[in-house]
Amino acid sequence: MRLLRWTCVVLLSCSAFSCGLAHAAQAPQLIPVSGDVQYTHDPSIIKDGDTWYLFSTNNGPERNGEVPIRCSPNLKTWKRCGYVFSGVPEWIKKASPQTKELWAPDLSYFNGKFHLYYAFSVFGKNTSGIALATNKTLNPKSPDYRWIDHGLVLQSRLEDDFNAIDPNLVFDEQGHAWLSFGSFWSGIKMRRIDPKTGILSMEDTKLYSLAARKRPPNPPRNPPGLPGDWQAIEAPFIVHHDNYFYLFVSFDLCCRGTKSNYKTMVARSRNVTGPYVDESGTPMPEGGGTPLIVGNQRWIGPGGESLLLQKEGDIIVYHAYDGKSGEPWLQISSIAWVNGWPKAAIAGAQPEN
């Protein structure tokens, strides 16, 4: 379960990899990756047995299915090991005929199953939906390996002021499940989930607001189809660390190659539903957010992030665009927790003093 935090055990000796992550308590370290890491977009990572699995948006020329899966025995070398769906499910084709691909998968494990929340939409519109698929195992060689699509969890319509994409599931300290989501419009939202069914809770039907963007004095013109107000915030991801819930989001724009200007931001709260404030004390609903990962000339627009809290050391996975080709690539960094705030690394950046 990616939301589970293991107790670290100090060993007299360790591998170069595990020792490197141990040192991340003082400074974050980029984990070099190789293999099938190009065209990785909106990555979500989880571990099953001795293998790490990475799910992502299918962003690339090879389209043999939807929600590609990559596998690694060590977090460094990756290879494709299948797809969740052979194509866009028929029920989505009927409900949203313009949908061409599935977006932003999110993986978690509870009640004996892996839960995959995924989104469907049309670029620049909020006629979107979040759906759920489950599997007993992520090992494709297991006889229990089978993805079951449970259909729609929640949706947004033209008249709504939010966009139901970019799902992320988190549990609070009482064991309640929560699904955060959102892109542009009025920002990041949250709904309570029934952990027994994986769908919306009937006990708490409130739509919570977690974060939004202030409109700058002279905002740049939005790309065609995007909402008029400049509210470029999306891709929420929440983890519980020590006594806080940390909300990670992506500011600004993805998916524009070398013109992408995504950046990963973070804020924290004592409660899962907020209020989330940044390091300076500015609330996220008022445009707050502490920069975590910012692009450079080599790697542009880092975002679409996912975290894994694990005994080997906490990590963040995200995509960044090649500064020359504009194509998205996978990046992985250890997380250093410094004075209660996370720190992460990006390739090509100058090390901090």
Residues that are catalytic: 42, 234
Helix (H, G, I), strand (E, B) or coil at 90: helix
Please, what sign has the CA dihedral across residues 310, 313, 314, 315?
negative
Buried-state track 248-259, b at ≥16 Cβ within 10 A, e below 16: bbbbbbbbeeee
Cross-strand partners of 177: 171, 193
Separation CA 224–CA 166 (nearest Å): 21
Helix (H) / strand (E) containing 235: strand 233-241
Q: Calculate the dihedral angle through the C-alpha atoms of 236, 102, 138, 240, rounding to the nearest 10 degrees.
A: 10
| Token pair in block for residue 168 | 């992320």
Nearest to 163 by CA among 74, 98, 106, 227: 227
Spatial distance between the Cα atoms of 162 and 156, rounded to a whole number of angstroms = 7
CB atoms within 10 A of CB 102: 24
Residue owning tokens 């919306």: 200
- Convert 32-60 to b/e letters by CB count within 10 Å (16 or more is b): ebeebbebbbbbbbbbbeeebbbbbbbbe
Q: How far apart are CA 28 and CA 212, in angstroms?
A: 28
Cα–chain center distance at 107: 9
- Which tokens go with 224? 């065609």
**Residue pair 296/349 in contact by the 8 Å Cβ criterion:** yes
Residue 71 neighbours by CB under 8 Å, 6+ apart: 51, 52, 53, 54, 78, 79, 80, 81
